[in-house]
Amino acid sequence: MREPGFLTDRSTEELVRLACSDSLLEAAVGMATINSLLEVDLDGCVELNAAELILQKGEGRNVAVVGHFPFLPQVREKAQRLWVIEKNPQAGDFPEAVADALIPQADVVAMTGTALTNHTLEHLLALCSPRAYVMLLGDTAPLSPVFFEYGVDAVCGTVVIDSEMALRCVSQGATFRQIRGTKRLALEKQG
């Protein structure tokens, strides 16, 4: 991170531009800035965890998940086939090098919001079959309908509903799952 300790001295525009950085940490700060500025249409969202939506859409179907998520064992039980594609593969995962071969075969594709941060989202979306149900998910996924214009059918993310509580948790070293004052929401393409 360039100039650590001075991010609060930067303008909003400078922080947003970090989303385009080749540095993963800087890009994460840029995406966090975008997410914090995004006005989420709460009326257009439903309180739904991404795991529930993947289970619903992926039962008996071929599912590709880009990123390793804790709910994958449940998906593996319900899906016909599950391909987990990961930059740092764990047991049973596939390396990112096989994404080009697996994603086009999937009926349901769920991609981590981190694909925005590491600048792989455009390529991953291009791999999806036009008939596939495509999701962007995770805590970094911006809850914005703009993704519907690029072939995404649902965005599942997190919004802060009690900033004071969330800030207290973060400032005291909470991991994401320990942060209170947030809500997991899904924004689905209509029609």
Burial 83-100 (b: 16+ CB within 10 A, else e): bbbbeeeeeebbebeebe
Cα–Cα distance, 88 to 36 (Å, whole number): 28
Q: Which residues pair with 110 in a beta bridge?
A: 65, 135
Half-sphere exposure of 142 (CA within 13 A, CB side): 21
Burial 104-124 (b: 16+ CB within 10 A, else e): eebbbbbbbbbbbbeebbeeb
pLDDT score for 1: 66
88-117, pLDDT tens digit by residue? 998 889 999 999 999 999 999 999 999 999
Is pLDDT above 80 for 4?
A: no
Residue spans in the chain of domains classed CATH 3.40.50.11590: 40-188
Is pLDDT above 80 for 6?
A: no
pLDDT score for 150: 94
State the residue for tokens 């911006």.
142
Mean pLDDT of the chain: 90
* pLDDT band (50, 70, 90) for residue 7: confident
Cα–Cα distance, 24 to 59 (Å, whole number): 34
126-166, pLDDT tens digit by residue? 999 999 999 999 888 999 999 999 999 999 998 888 889 98
CATH assignment of 40-188, among 3.30.2350.10, 3.40.50.150, 3.40.50.11590, 1.10.630.10: 3.40.50.11590
pLDDT score for 76: 94
pTM: predicted TM-score of the whole model, two decimal places = 0.87
pLDDT score for 156: 93
Inter-residue contact 147 to 40 (CB < 8 Å): no
Cα–Cα distance, 83 to 109 (Å, whole number): 10
* pLDDT band (50, 70, 90) for residue 121: very high
Inter-residue contact 83 to 94 (CB < 8 Å): yes
Cα–Cα distance, 159 to 42 (Å, whole number): 9
